[in-house]
Structure 1
Amino acid sequence: MDPDMADRLLRSALATALLLACTSLHAQEPAAAPVAARSYPAADFARYSPNNAYDMLRQVPGFVIREAEQERGLGEATGNVVINGRRISGKSNDVLTELTRVPAANVVRIDIVEGATLDIPGLSGQVANVVTRAGGISGQWSWKPDVRKYYTRPQITRGDVSVSGSSGGLQYTVGLRNDANHSGAGGGTRIYNADGTLRDTRDDAWTGEMDRPKLSTQLTYTAADGDVANLNASVQKEFYHYREDGFRSGPGLPDRERKVREHEGGHTWEVGGDYEFGVGIGRLKLIGLDRYAHTPYSQTVTTRYLDGSSPDSGSRYARDSEEKEQIARAEYRWKTGASDWRISAEGAFNRLDSTTLIAELDPSGVFVDVPLPGANARVQEDRYELIGSWGHPLGEKAKLQLSAGAEHSTLAQVGGGGLTREFLRPKGTLSVAWKPTSTLDVNVKLQRRVGQLNFYDFLASVNLNDDRENAGNPDLVPQQSWDFEVEATKNFGAYGTSTLRLYDHRIDDLIDIIPIGADGESLGNIDSAREYGVEWKGTWKLEPFGWRGAKVDTRWWLQQSEVRDPLTGVERRISGSLIHFWQVKLRHDVPGTSWAWGFDINHELDARDVRLTEIGYTWEGPRWGELFIERKDFHGLTLRAAVANALDAGSYRDRYVHLGRRTDPLDYHEVRDRRIGPIFAFQVAGKF
C-alpha cells in the first residue's frame, strides 16, 4: 500500500470515531464496575501477610494467572488480570510487574469476574480485577538469592525495590527490579551409530548467568472531571553469559576438549502513555507507544584435540540487531440503552535491522569469515487495524460481546533475498458470559486470531552448539486460527472453587520447520493444524475436614495436536506442543502463629521437536518438587526458605539425527543425562 494511502486510511478511521463521538453534547462518566462472580476483600488475605497486590492475587482460590500474550501492536486485551477495570497501555511494563509495586495496604479487594462483563474487548473467561485506592508514600523491597549444589555460582543479585504514593489526583510508582537467574547442569552424553554401537562418549558441564536490571515508572493522573492520563516508561539492561566445558572420546577417535561460550547484552527502553476523556456521548482514549531494543549476541564453539597432531577447530556466530516499534491507537466507547459500544483504530510500525557474521577457525588458529546467505537484512511491517465491538445483556443472567474488524499490513524484507507483500486479514471475537446460578459461571468464546511474528525467523541463523542451521525465509506470514473455548467455574463455598476449560483451536499457516530448497530448512508456514484439550484447576480448602489453615491447589491439563508433516505427509503432533501437565500445591498457614509451610509438585510432557533432519526431545524432569517454610512476620519482615528440585529432576535429551533429511538413513542417536541437583532458595521481603 502507498504510504500516503495508508496515512489517509488511519486518519479516516480516527475521524470516524470522533464523528460518532460528537453526536451528543454531554460526556458520559466511566462505566460502573462490573458485577463480581466472586469478591475477596483485602481482609481475606491477611493470614498470608502479603507485601503487595501480586502476593494477594497468587492466593485467590481457584485462580491461575495467565500472562498477557505478545499481540501484534497493542491490539485487543489478553491475559486475565486488570487493575481497576483497566488494562495497561504498554508491552514491557506488564500488569503483573505493576502489581508487585502496589502495596498490599492499597488493595481494596480482588474481584473475579467474567471477562465479557468488563467492556474490554479480547478478555473472556475468569478475569481478576484488582481494585486499588490511592495511599500515602510507601515502599517495599525483596531479596531472593539462591544457591545450587552443583556447577553454578550462588545467585545473589535478584531482587526489587519500589516506592508508591499519591498527591491530589496524581498517583506514582517508581521501581527497580533485577530478574537475575543462575542455572546449570552437567553429566554424560552417549552417541550411538545407526547399528547401536557406541560412537562417542561426552562429559559436559554448563552454567548460565543472567542479570536484567530494569528501572521503570508509572504515573496516573485523574482529573476532577474524570479524565485520566497514564505514563509508563522503562529502561532495561541485559547481561547473559553461558559457559560449557566438556571432554569427548570414542572408539578410533582422538580425545578432545570442547568449549562453548555465549554472550548476550544490550538494552531496551520503552515509553508509552494514554489519555482518556469524555467526548460526546462516550469516552475517547488516545494511546501511544515507542519501544527500542539493541541486542548483540555471540556464540563461539572450539575443540582442542589431545592427540598432538590434529589442529584445533571452531566456529563463531555473531549477530548485532536493533528493533524499533511505534504504535498509535485510539479507542472510543459509549452506551446506548443496555448496549456497550466501542470502536478502535491502530497503526503499528515495526522494524528489525540485523547483521550477522560467521567465522571458522583455520589451521593457523585464526577465525576467518564465511558467508551466511540471508542473514543480513531489514524486516519491517506497517500495520493498520480497525475493530468495532458491541456488548449487550441477554436477559438477567448472560451478556453477549461481539467484536469484528480487520487489519491491513505491508510486510517487507530489504536484503537477504527479501520481497514486499500486502495482506488483509479479518479478526474478531464472539463471547457469551452466562451465570445460570449464584455459584456457577459459564463463558463461551469463538475468536479469529492473527498471531505475532518474530522478525528473526525471516533471517538465516545457526546454532553452533547443536550443529543446526536455519535458512532465511522471506515468505513467512503470521499464524492465524479459529479458537473455540468453553470455561465453567463452580464455587463450592467453604470447600473451594473449581474451573473446567475445553478448547479447540483450528490453525491456518502454522509456523513450523519446513523444507527450503533441495536440502535446507527454516521456519515457515504449514497450511493447517489443530490443537484441542481440557484443563481443570481448583482450590480445595481443608478446614471443613478439620485441618485449619490448609488448602490444596490442583491443575490438570491434557492436550492433543495434529499437523501433517511437510516432509513425509504423515500426521503427527505439533512440534514441541504440550501433551499433559499436572500440579499439586499444598499450603498450611499454622493457626495462631506467623508460620506457614507447604510443597509444590508438578510434571510436564511435551511433544518431540521435529526438524527436517532430526527428531528429538530435550526436557527437565520427570517431576519437579519444592518444599518451603515461611515466617510471615519476623520483626516486620517476611522470611522464606525453600528447597527447589527436591525430587532430583535432571536434564535429558533423546535425539535422532539423519544423514540428510529424515527420509534418509539414520546417522546417530544422542542420549543425554545431566544432573541439576538441589536448589536452596531464600527470600527476605519488607516494607518502608
Structure 2
Amino acid sequence: MSAPLRRLALTAALLAAPPLALAQTAAPAVTVEGARSYTPSDFARYSPRSALEMLQQVPGFVIRDAVQERGLGQATGNVLLNGQRMSGKSNDVLAQLGKIPANTVVRIEIRDGATLGIPGLSGPVANVVAKAGGVSGSWAWRPDVRRHFTDPQLTRGEVSISGARENLEYTLGFDNSANHSGAGGGTTIFEPDGRVREWRDEIWTGESERPRLTGTLGWTGAGGDEVNLNASYQRVYFDYEEDGVRTGPALVERLRTVRQTQRGYNREIGGDWETALAGGRLKLIGLDRYVHNPVVTAVEVTPTDASARTGSRFSRDAEETERIARAEYSWQAGGDWQVSGEYAFNRLDSASALVVLDPNGTYVPVPLPGGTAVVEEDRYEAMGTYGRTLSPTLSMQLSLGGEYSRLEQVGAGGLTRAFRRPKGLLSFAWQPAPGFDVNAKLQRRVGQLNFYDFLASVDLNDDQSFAGNPDLVPPQTWELELEASRTLGDWGNTALRLYTQRIDDIVDVVPIGVDGESTGNIDRATRHGVEWKHTLLFDPIGWRGAKLDARVQVERSRVRDPLTGEQRPISNNLQELVELGLRHDVPDTDWAWGANASYGYYARDYRLTEVGRVWEGPIWGSLFLERKNLKGLTVRVTASNITDAMSMWDRTVYLDRRTGPIDYIEVRDRRIGPILSFAISGTF
C-alpha cells in the first residue's frame, strides 16, 4: 500500500474507532418491512434542494451508477424512484432525482435488493419515495474559475419544474454539464541510459458544453394501469487546444499545435406501460436512442529553422442507433415470480479518414484499413426470476436465463458471428439483528462491447493507433460478493464489502497481425477487493452537526499478458481508493463548512510497445463554505485542488516489449492549479 493511501486510511480508521467500540444505541425506526427509513426531518440540517441532495446525505450509503447493460436487461445500480427503475439510459434515475424538489420527497428507504421483487437488484438499495403536489421547481448555477490556463466556466447549471394534477405527474428540465479544464508544464523524454533526448513545454485546454432538454410524464389509471414516458435531447460542443514547444540537446526547436473539435447531438425517447393481466402484472418497455458524433483532430509541427512543416489530421463521423423492446410479466405464487424477454438492436455507422501533410504543404490521404465500417448487433434475452422470504430474517432471489446475439461487421474485414451466453443471479438478504444487514450475491454477467473497438482509429496527440478488431466477443464475468452493513444509532453507519470476479474473454489491448494492436479479448482474468464505507456522526461526543464520510477500497487483478505471457494487472484497473469528507452544519445557524480529500491509484496501461500510467494526484483536496438560506437561496463556495494535484503521465516506450529493448522513457508533470467553484441554488 502506497504512503498517501496509508496516511488517509489510518486517519479514517482512527476517526471511526470510537463508534465501532461504543455504539449501542438503537437503529433508526423501521417504517417499512426490512428497511431503514429516513424522512425529510432527518435531512433538515443540510437544507437540501433536491431529492438527489437528500440521498447523498444518507449515512453509509454509496450511490452506484447503473451498469450500462446490453440493452436494458435486469435492474442494476442501487437507486429506485417510487419503487421503479427508469426505462431510459440517457435520463437515468440519478439525473431524474436531481430535478425533483426536496419538498416533494416523502421518505428514503434503504432496503435489501433481494427483498424488493425487482430482478437484478442486490445489496443495499435506496428507494426514493416522492409525491408531487401542485407545481414546484428548482434551479442551480455552478460556475467555476481556475487560476491557470483555463477561461472561467460560467454556463454550468440546471433548472426543472415538476407538477401533478389528479393522476398525472410530470417533470421538465434543462441542464448544461459544461466543463472547462486545462493543465500546463513540462515533459522530459529520456534515452534508455538516462540522458535527455527532448524537453517539452505544453499547455492544453478543453472546453465542453452539453445543453440538454429532458422530460418525464407519469400517469396512473383508475384500474391500476401505469404509464411512464421520458425523453431527452442534447447538443454536444467540445474544443481542445494544445500548444507547445519541443527541443533537445541535438534537436531543432519546434512549435507544436493540437486542435480537436466535436459537434454532435443525441436524442432518446423511452416509455413503459404496466397493467394487470391474468392475476399478475404485465409491463411493456420501449426505447429508441440516436447519437451523432463527428470528431476532427489535427496536429501540426513547425520547426523554427527552414525545415518543412509536418502535420496530420484524423476525422471520424459516426452515427449510433439503439432500439429496445422488452416485456416483463410478474405474479405471486408462493413467492415473487417474473419472466421477461427482450430484443435489442444496436448499430454503429462510422467513417474515418487520415490525411498527412506532404513536403509541398498539401494534405494527402493515407490508407486507414478498417477505419470505415458498419457494426450491427441483434440481441435476444430471456430470463426467469423467483424470489421469496425464507424466514422472518432471510430472503432470496434467483434469476436464470441467457441471451443470443448476432454480431455483424459490414466493410473492410467484415465478419458475422453468433453467440449464446448463459446468465443469472442468486442473492440472499439476511438480517441477523435489527440494524444489521448481510447480503450475498453470485452472478454471471455478460458485458457490453464498445463498437468503436471494432474499427481502426488513430490518437494523433499521443502518437498511438488501434488496428481495429472484428473478432471481438462480449466478456462474461462470474461475480461473488458479500456485504455487511450495521447502523450505529446516533454514531452513524458502517459497511464492509468483499468481492471477487473471474472474467472470461476480458477486453484489453492485444497484438493484431505482425506489428499492430487493438482492443481484443484475453482468455481469463481475476479481480478481487474489499471496500469499507463509514459515516461517523460526532453529536455523541458534543460536536453537534458534524460528520465524517469515509470510503476505502483496495483491489487487485491478474491477467496473463498476451504479448509476454507474464502475469500482470488488468490495464488501468483500480488498485487503491480513499475518499474522506468532513461536513459541519453549525447548530442554530444556516452555515455549514467542510473539507474533502481523495486519493486514487490505478494499474498501468499495457500496450504493444509501451507501458504507462496517466493520472491526476496524488491527492485531491478541497474546502467549502455554505450558506443554506441567503434570502431563500443556498450559496456554496468551494476551493478545490488545495493540495496542488498534478496531471502526470509516466510511460516507457519499447522497440519490442517482448524482448525488452527500450526506445525512450517519457515523464510528464503538468500543473492544474487551484479551482474556485460556486454553487447557487433555489426553489420556486
TM-score if structure 2 supplies the norm length? Answer: 0.95
Q: 1:321 aligns with which of 309, 318, 323?
A: 318
> Is the contact between residue 466 and residue 517 of structure 2 (CA under 8 Å) also seen in structure 1?
yes
- Amino acid of the structure 1 residue aligned with 2:261: H
Map 1:39-188 to 2 at 5 A: 39-188=37-186
- The match for 1:268 is 266
Contact in 2 for aligned 1:347/1:384 (Cα 8 Å):
yes
Of 625, 629, 646, the match for 2:625: 629
Gaps of 5+ in 1: 1-32
Tell me the residue number matched to 2:231: 233
Q: Is the 8 A contact 1:34 1:118 kept in 2?
A: no
Distance 2:635 2:667 in 1: 41
Distance 2:465 2:669 in 1: 25
Supply the distance in 2 between the matched residues of 1:244 and 1:320 (Cα, whole angstroms).
22
Task: Give me the whole-angstrom Cα distance separating, in 1, the residues matched to 2:502 and 2:546.
Answer: 41
Partner of residue 582, structure 1:
578
1:248, 1:267 → 2: CA distance?
36
1:524-583 Cα shifts (integer Å, max 9, x gaps): 000000000000001000000110000000000000100000011110111100111011
CA distance in 1, matches of 2:131, 2:682: 21
Helix, strand or coil for the counterpart of 2:96? helix
Separation of aligned partners in 1, 2:607 and 2:287: 37
Q: Counterparts of 1:203-602 in structure 2 under 5 Å?
A: 203-307=201-305, 309-337=306-334, 339-602=335-598
- Supply the distance in 2 between the matched residues of 1:74 and 1:135 (Cα, whole angstroms): 31
C-alpha displacement of 1:659: 1.7
Amino acid at match of 1:362: D
- Partner SS for 1:399: strand
Q: Which moved more, 1:498-507 or 1:358-367?
A: 358-367
Q: Which amino acid aligns with 1:477?
A: V
- Aligned mates of 1:661, 1:473 — CA distance in 2: 21
Q: CA RMSD in A?
A: 0.8
State the 1:363 CA deviation.
Answer: 1.3
How far apart, in 2, do the equivalents of 1:34 and 1:573 lie? 44
* 1:287-316 per-position Cα deviation (integer Å, ceiling 9, x unaligned): 000000000001101000001x21000110
Distance 1:370 1:671 in 2: 31
CA contact (8 A) 1:36 1:111 kept: no
Partner of 1:16: none
Corresponding residue SS for 1:55: helix
Give yes or no for contact 1:317–1:356 (8 Å, CA) kept in 2: yes
Task: Give the Å deviation of 1:134.
Answer: 2.3
CA contact (8 A) 1:110 1:130 kept: yes
Work out which of the residue numbers 646, 653, 675 in structure 2 matches 1:650. 646
Separation in 1 of the partners of 2:264 and 2:304?
Answer: 37
Partner of 2:191: 193
The answer to whether the Cα contact below 8 Å between 1:451 and 1:478 also exists between their aligned partners in 2 is: yes
Change (3 A) 1:34 1:417: farther
CA offsets per residue over residues 123-177 of structure 1, 9 Å max, x none? 1101100011121111111000000000000000000000100111110000000
Q: Aligned letter for 2:50?
A: N
Could you tell me whether the CA contact under 8 Å between 1:608 and 1:617 is conserved in 2?
A: yes
For the residues of structure 1 that align with 2:636 and 2:254, how far apart are their CA atoms?
Answer: 44
Q: What amino acid is the match of 2:140?
A: S
Offset, 1:36: 4.0
**Alpha-carbon shift at residue 661 of structure 1 (Å):** 4.0
- Post-superposition shift, 1:662? 4.5
**Ranges of 4+ aligned residues in structure 1 off by more than 6 Å:** none
Write out per-residue CA displacement over residues 380-407 of structure 1, whole angstroms, 9 at most, x where no aligned residue.
0000000000001111111110000010
Shift of 1:180: 0.4
Partner of 1:685: 681
Tell whether the 8 Å contact from 1:284 to 1:333 is kept in structure 2 after alignment: yes
* Rounded Cα–Cα distance in structure 2 between residues aligned with 1:369 and 1:512: 30
Tell me which moved more, 347-356 or 358-367.
358-367
Contact 1:295 1:322 in 2 (8 A): yes
- Shift, 1:35, TM fit: 2.3
SS at 2:134 equivalent: coil
Tell me the equivalent position of 1:17: none
Tell me the alpha carbon deviations over residues 417-437 of structure 1, each in whole angstroms, 9 at most, x when there is no partner.
011001110000000000010
What is the alpha-carbon distance in structure 1 between the residues aligned to residue 130 and residue 319 of structure 2? 38
TM-score, length of structure 1 as denominator length: 0.94
Q: For residue 94 of structure 2, give the secondary structure of its aligned residue in structure 1.
A: helix
Deviations 1:479-522 (A, max 9, x none): 11100000000111111100100000000000001110111110
Can you list the C-alpha shifts for 1:206-235, whole angstroms capped at 9, x where unaligned?
A: 000001000010000011111100000110
C-alpha separation between the residues in 2 aligned to 1:49 and 1:371? Answer: 59
- Structure 1 match to 2:665: 669
Match of 1:364, SS state, is coil
What secondary structure is seen at the aligned counterpart in 1 of 2:89? Answer: coil
Q: Give the Cα–Cα distance (whole angstroms) in 2 for the partners of residues 480 and 35 of structure 1.
A: 35
Distance apart, 1:264 and its partner CA: 1.1
Q: 2:132–2:162: 8 Å Cα contact kept in structure 1?
A: no
Q: Secondary structure at the match of 2:122?
A: coil
Measured in 1, the distance between the counterparts of 2:164 and 2:425 equals 38
